[in-house]
Every structure is written in C-alpha cells, then in structure tokens.
Structure 1
C-alpha cells in the first residue's frame, strides 16, 4: 500500500529496535531510556516498574513483555560493554511511554508511535485480517472496527460529560480538525467533493480508515486513562490526539488524510459481499 502509515523506518524508536535469535522484535531498556531523555538508567527503573504493574492489570503475563538480559552498550572510541537491562516487547514500550514523564516532547511522540504500532500489531495478528487480500476486504474490516470503536468512544465521551447529540457532533469535529489539519466535517466534505448526504467514513480507503481508527481508539483510551472531565477538556483531548496521529503520518512520510483519494461508497461493497453470501452456488452438471 503506497504511502501507508505503517512505514516506520524513519522513526527514532524504530532505529533502536532489535531482533532476537527467534526473529522476535524487542527494545533494550537502556537505549530506550536515552531516547526518552532520562539522564541515568536508575531514574528510568521506576517507570519500568509502573509499566509492569499496568501490564499485570491488563491481564497480560509480565514475563511475555519484560525480560531481564545483558544489553550491549556502545561507548566512545568503539568500546562496548554488556550491562544489566530489560528486553521490552512493543506492548511493554507502549506501557512505558504511558508511564513516563509526559512533559517531554519525545515521550508524547513515543506515546503516539507505540500506540499506533501496538494497534497495528493487534490488527495484523487477527486471523480474520491476515486472510484479507484485497483493498475492498481491508476497507470493510477497518470500517467495521471503526464502527465498534466509535461506539466505545461515544461511551467514553459520555462519561467525560459529552451528553447531548449536538455536543457529541462538536466533539467528533474536534477529532477531525486535529487529524485533518484544521478541517472539520463540512470542510472535509467540500475538500473531497462529497455530497451532504454522503458519510466521510464510507468513502475512505484502508489507509485513511486506519488513521481514523487510531484516532478513535487512542482518544477513548486517553479519556479513560486520564479521567478527563468536561466537554471542553474532552474536545481538547480529541483534537490533540488527532493532531498527534497527523504528526506521526507526517514524520513517516505518509500522505495527509485530506489528500487521500475518495473511494467508492463502502455500502456498494457491502451489497456486493451480501449478494455473494446470499446467492447459492450453481451445482456442476
């Protein structure tokens, strides 16, 4: 997929990723601590412990994501030394950046990067997703995922104080404005030449749907995690998450969502798929 936001080769977090003897990716805690601007590794250890606790609270085996090992560290003039460290999975890194110092810009970048990549990994590991081969199938899958997570986002927004339908429309618009560089739903419609009756989500390709799925899932998580209260704060959170996802797309060299092509209505694809299921196959004579 051209201009796919899964292209992560240029990120600082991808550059320090390693592959073990079994072909599994991991990050060394000491290298990650330097990227996250911790002056000494001992200051980073409490963050790892909080991440382990979060892992346990997520019903994930800590040992699957955090493993003590000797990490090779490069010093000046080619000198190398093995030092006690922790081998971290992608999920472990996600939990770490959620528990690191949020005032650091690089931590905020890490939160977006690992949130997106962790969600991508979850999708890629789904058997149903792995069987998909066409763009139409991927669109249907991601559109259904987005429908499900938009319901969950609506519940999280309601808990934050976004109650009335008009307030929720404003809340959703803030998410679009963050992701689409200031464009709200009306402006996106105009930019893409869509009619008022046409839903934006129904005319997105898989790349654009994926970006909006990340926006929705991460906003839901942040509203819950940070216990956001009040319509203004909820709107601000949705805007900021959308903006971070946009920045990540930019950092990875992807196409901005407002510049992605308008696709055939997904309803037509749904109808075609429905016909395939309902039409009995002819018996061979």
Structure 2
C-alpha cells in the first residue's frame, strides 16, 4: 500500500500508520484487529539483512491511514476522496433500502386490500357496505377511529389514501390485520354481512392488543410518513448516484507493471 499512497520512504509511511493506530484507539476500536504487525526482511548495504515492521491491514485500517496521510500527496487526496464517496454511497444505500422496503410493503397492502374485499364479498358483504366493512377493521385496530377520523387526527388531506402515508411499521400491522381477517372469514365460513363486519373489527382489536402487549406504539400515535409517491420518485433518481465514477477514484491505486 505504501507506493499506492505516494510514499517513497518507509519511515514516513509508518508515521501515517502510527497516527492511524492512534485514531483507531480513539474511535473505540481494537488496533490489533486492524493493524496486524509482522516482521519484514529488507536488504541493506553490503548485503546486510534488516528486519523492519510491516503490517497486514484491514479495510478500516486503510481508511484510517488515508485519513491520517499527507493530503499534499495527490494519491492521499484521491484516497480520501474515494473513501468519502464510498461512505456517501453507503448512506444512500441504507436510505434506498428502507425506501424500497416501504414501496414493496405498500404494494403488498394494496394487493391484500383487494384480496380481503374478495373474501368479504364471498362472506356476504354487499358492495354498498364495503366502506363500513373496511372501516370496522380500522376502528378495531385504532381504538374506535375510522379511516376519516384517523386522517383528521394525523392531519392527512381528505383526498389522500391513508395507506400512502403509513410508514413500514404501520403498513405491516395493517397488512397483518387484513391477512388474518381474510383467513378467519374463510376458515370460519362466514356467510353473513354483519358477522363479517364484526369479524374484521374483532381482528383489528386483537392486533391492537398484540401491539400493546409487546410495548409497541399504538397505530394512531404513529406520525404520518411522507407520501409514497415522493418515496417512489426518490428511488427512481437515487440509483444513478450509487454508481462510483472511475474518475472519482482515479489515483488511489497505481497502475501495476506487467510481469
């Protein structure tokens, strides 16, 4: 790594290593896990062999050495830039993973809503009562609050779909409510409209009780998330930023001579 970072003298490079080891300690990490010291024989004048320190370095150690190197060296400056870009890429990666998870869960809840509507129809719920049926599930799960009351409480515009403003936690809880209601309607062969509505409310209450039991935040107390469309748009424009351009890492690794 010494020549790749522009150091021609070992002692200068070792100074950077020592500063990196100090930084490693100060960050609460164990240096021996990242800087494994070994002896390296080098030939001196008149054929004399001298043993000097050498190191097996982890990726974290390489990062610390670059951060503690001489920024006047182009190689060090480019290495610092490279690691900064990689850190930013990781931040973006973590954020986009969370966004994709929410998008996928929103898609699943949309599909489950349709499946539950089908099961409700099979159970005898008439089309004009679908609003009442679905509201019953919300009321059971949200402590008596129906869809419109939830939106009012969370200050969500009337025209917006409630589930488009749910975060992954709230979406997952509602998906569970819907899947369990659908299964219960089918399993118990419910064929009465009023019974189907009561079943949905009952399952909603059970989900609410489960959230209470494990110490979770009750759904009506969860803050509304940004609109799902904003998340979708962000995912579309974030992908290009994940690509590390060659010029951004230029100079970090020198060209190797062909043997």
The interval holding the TM-score normalised by the smaller chain is 0.5 to 0.7
Identify which of structures 1 and 2 has the higher relative contact order when contacts are C-alpha pairs closer than 8 Å and 6+ apart: 2
Tell me what 1:138 maps to.
Answer: 101
1:151 to 99, 114, 131: 114
Kindly state the Cα deviation for residue 163 of structure 1 after the two structures are TM-superposed. Answer: 3.0
Kindly state the Cα deviation for residue 218 of structure 1 after the two structures are TM-superposed. Answer: 0.3
Cα 1:151/1:278, change in 2 over 3 Å: farther
Distance 1:282 1:242 in 2: 47
2:217 to 246, 251, 255: 255
Q: How does 1:120-269 map to 2 (within 5 A)?
A: 134-164=97-127, 166-269=128-231
Long gaps (5+) in structure 1: 1-130
Distance 1:209 1:275 in 2: 24
* Larger radius of gyration between Structure 1 and Structure 2: 2
Deviations 1:32-74 (A, max 9, x none): xxxxxxxxxxxxxxxxxxxxxxxxxxxxxxxxxxxxxxxxxxx
Cα 1:237/1:278, change in 2 over 3 Å: farther
Long gaps (5+) in structure 2: 1-93, 248-259
Deviations 1:218-255 (A, max 9, x none): 00100111011121111000000000000000000111
Cα 1:241/1:132, change in 2 over 3 Å: farther
Cα 1:132/1:228, change in 2 over 3 Å: farther
Cα 1:244/1:132, change in 2 over 3 Å: farther
Distance 2:121 2:151 in 1: 26
Q: TM-score, normalised by structure 1?
A: 0.50
Q: Secondary structure at the match of 1:194?
A: coil
Distance 1:158 1:256 in 2: 29
Cα 1:224/1:278, change in 2 over 3 Å: farther
Q: How does 1:2-41 map to 2 (within 5 A)?
A: none
Tell me what 2:71 maps to.
Answer: none
Distance 1:187 1:259 in 2: 13
Deviations 1:111-162 (A, max 9, x none): xxxxxxxxxxxxxxxxxxxx99743222112111111111111110110112
Q: How does 1:27-176 map to 2 (within 5 A)?
A: 134-164=97-127, 166-176=128-138
Distance 2:190 2:95 in 1: 37
Deviations 1:157-193 (A, max 9, x none): 11011231x3111100000000000000111011101
Distance 1:277 1:209 in 2: 25
Cα RMSD over matched residues?
2.4
